[in-house]
Structure 1
Amino acid sequence: MTTTAGAGAGGGTEAFVRVGGTAHHVLAEGRGPVVVLSAGLAMSWFDWDPVVPLLAPHRTVVRFDRPGHGLSAPAAVAPSASGEAHRIAGVLDALGLYDKATVVGHSIAGFHAEAFARLHPARTRGVVLVDSSVEEHARVPVAPAVRTALARAFAVSLSALGAPAALGPAARRGAVRLTRAAGGDPAPAALVRRCYATSRVFAGAVLENTHYRAVAAELLALRERFPLPEGLPVTVLAAPCGSRRWAERQQELARRLGARYEAAEPSGHMVMLDRPEAVAAAVLEQG
């Protein structure tokens, strides 16, 4: 259900919707078939800004912040592959968008996009994995509840020392700069500080990073039980950045999923910033 809504900067709808009892920050812009854009660990809705104008004339573009990311409320539970797949469905339901959607997942959100296609095949129009995380042999770590408690305690301790406010925006800037082929972080300073100077986003990033292996292992299990819909268009858009090993792993991912492989070059991991036209083309070429 939508709790608050208004006009976004691009003329679309900006809202907070409740999914699983947690308020999620959501933007919906454009017209046509639905595309959901989900960014990587510790990233925010505005990291898709260069892509949206290329898609909005042809697609209804939905962006949302996962719990503890962007402007969304803190995470109530630890992340899981199935939980993130159901979250995407919940966001679409809250917006009244029930037709099939193309799901675009960047980095760790590639796990979530694939899980959505496997668990919600009737709602999936296509999948685009943007330099997706790849874990071929992940195993579920022991004591997940203990890991969650330790992650929360760590985040609380550093937040009490003022670490997010002092270091968060600079850490965000540095991470983006290091993961681009060229250029710095184009995000407005006010937005970066609004999000990354908070203990909420710091804790969200710590929690998601803590459960990265568990989410990867769960996705491997989902692959065994839930096949992708026959004929579903899937694109693996990779950023090899000169790494032969990374290119091989991305190509193997494409083979495993029966997907089309494309290298976005030149580009760093933040493909949506370095090559937004490649991301948009990957979506539109699926029809």
Structure 2
Amino acid sequence: MTHPGSGRFLRVDGTALHTLVQGEGPPVVLSAGLALAWFDWDEVAALLLAAGRTVIRFDRPGHGLSAPAPAPPTAAGEARRIAGLLDALGIAGPVTVVGHSLAGFHAEAFARLHPERTAALVLVDSSVEETRPRTLLPAALRTGAARALGWALTATGLPAALGPAVRRAAVRASRAGSRAGDPAARGLVRRCYRTGRVWRGILLENSRYPDTAAELLALRPRHPLRAPVTVLAAHDGTSGRAARRWLARQAALADRLGARFEVAAPAGHLLMLDRPHQVARAVRYATERR
């Protein structure tokens, strides 16, 4: 069954990626954070389409409707995946690449490794690591444990029973305001989050977070950014220590990248849901100031 708003599948690096391309004009690639899907960009995409942009959304392997991940993700590998997706779509010119949360690592890696294909970089409440993350277990052991746990969850039937409810609870917890919920269509949520494939993909990607962060830190001195950068940070409107520290880290990231810094408030981590107009405006401005 084809749900409204779903796209097509393109084979990139041997993996079938679910991809949705809409509109005409300067291209924008939207990549969502860990455990999210293409439809989480719906409101931002609608605003960009109205502003005359070609909007490209895709699900990383194991996310949304895309096929399972053939191997653990890396920063360079995800940058190559974006480039391969653009090749498959026949888009040779530069794009504005937008990364939310963990996908901020991937978007920045793309901008550094493919400067000729990058018009602008926008980081939306991006993950940030100032130093190499410490790990207790080697990468291979973490990956093996993530795979084993994913298959065990699938075997118990928990994704089918609880997957959509867990997704909705996580979205509510990541938004600002007590009444903020999950705006995604229930049919789409069930279609994605009732599958063990998605939860295995989430666990696998999360298990390699510290390695991806360390890889990006190593890329920075060797591959300078040439495109304009915007760092858009979420602030929930409180004056708590955690909120102030997060803003300080985002501001430091902007300073490190020579980026324009902007705060979105009140907003939770899912900025594309809480402040879609501000996200779309930041994307438009990033391209226009190039």
1:79-158 correspondence to structure 2 within 5 Å: 79-139=73-133, 141=135, 143-158=138-153
Residue 171 of structure 1: how far off its partner (Å): 0.7
1:275 aligned partner: 275
Is 2:3–2:188's contact at 8 Å kept on the other side of the alignment? no
In structure 2, C-alpha distance between the alignment counterparts of 1:16 and 1:8, rounded to whole Å: 14
Residue 240 of structure 1: how far off its partner (Å): 2.3
* 1:71 is aligned to 2:68: no
AA partner of residue 134 (structure 1): V
Q: TM-score, normalised by structure 1?
A: 0.94
AA partner of residue 145 (structure 1): A
In structure 2, C-alpha distance between the alignment counterparts of 1:185 and 1:218, rounded to whole Å: 33
AA partner of residue 202 (structure 1): W
Q: Secondary structure at the match of 2:78?
A: helix
With 252-261 and 141-150 compared, the bigger mean Cα shift is at 141-150
AA partner of residue 83 (structure 2): A
Q: Secondary structure at the match of 2:266?
A: coil
In structure 2, C-alpha distance between the alignment counterparts of 1:81 and 1:63, rounded to whole Å: 18
Residue 140 of structure 1: how far off its partner (Å): 7.1
1:165-244 correspondence to structure 2 within 5 Å: 165-182=160-177, 183-229=180-226, 232-241=227-236, 242=238, 243-244=243-244
Residue 9 of structure 1: how far off its partner (Å): 4.2
* 1:62 is aligned to 2:56: yes
The equivalent position to 1:29 in structure 2, one of 15, 22, 26, is 22
Residue 14 of structure 1: how far off its partner (Å): 2.3
AA partner of residue 18 (structure 2): H
Q: Secondary structure at the match of 1:166?
A: helix
Q: TM-score, normalised by structure 2?
A: 0.93
The equivalent position to 1:163 in structure 2, one of 153, 158, 161, is 158
CA deviation map 1:244-277 (0-9, x unaligned): 1000000000000000000011111000001000
1:259 aligned partner: 259
In structure 2, C-alpha distance between the alignment counterparts of 1:9 and 1:189, rounded to whole Å: 12
Is 1:140–1:218's contact at 8 Å kept on the other side of the alignment? no
* 1:45 is aligned to 2:42: no
The equivalent position to 2:10 in structure 1, one of 10, 17, 21, is 17
In structure 1, C-alpha distance between the alignment counterparts of 2:106 and 2:187, rounded to whole Å: 29
Q: Secondary structure at the match of 2:65?
A: coil
In structure 2, C-alpha distance between the alignment counterparts of 1:46 and 1:18, rounded to whole Å: 20
In structure 2, C-alpha distance between the alignment counterparts of 1:222 and 1:8, rounded to whole Å: 39
Is 1:140–1:214's contact at 8 Å kept on the other side of the alignment? no
Q: Secondary structure at the match of 1:125?
A: strand
AA partner of residue 284 (structure 2): L
- Could you tell me which runs of 5 or more consecutive residues in structure 1 were left unpaired when the two chains were aligned: 1-6
Residue 224 of structure 1: how far off its partner (Å): 1.7
Is 2:38–2:58's contact at 8 Å kept on the other side of the alignment? yes
Is 1:8–1:27's contact at 8 Å kept on the other side of the alignment? no
Residue 39 of structure 1: how far off its partner (Å): 0.2
Q: Secondary structure at the match of 2:63?
A: coil
Q: For this pair of structures, how many residues does the alignment match?
A: 277
In structure 2, C-alpha distance between the alignment counterparts of 1:140 and 1:254, rounded to whole Å: 23
The alignment-based identity, stated in percent, is 62
In structure 2, C-alpha distance between the alignment counterparts of 1:144 and 1:224, rounded to whole Å: 24
- Could you tell me which runs of 5 or more consecutive residues in structure 2 were left unpaired when the two chains were aligned: none
AA partner of residue 85 (structure 1): A
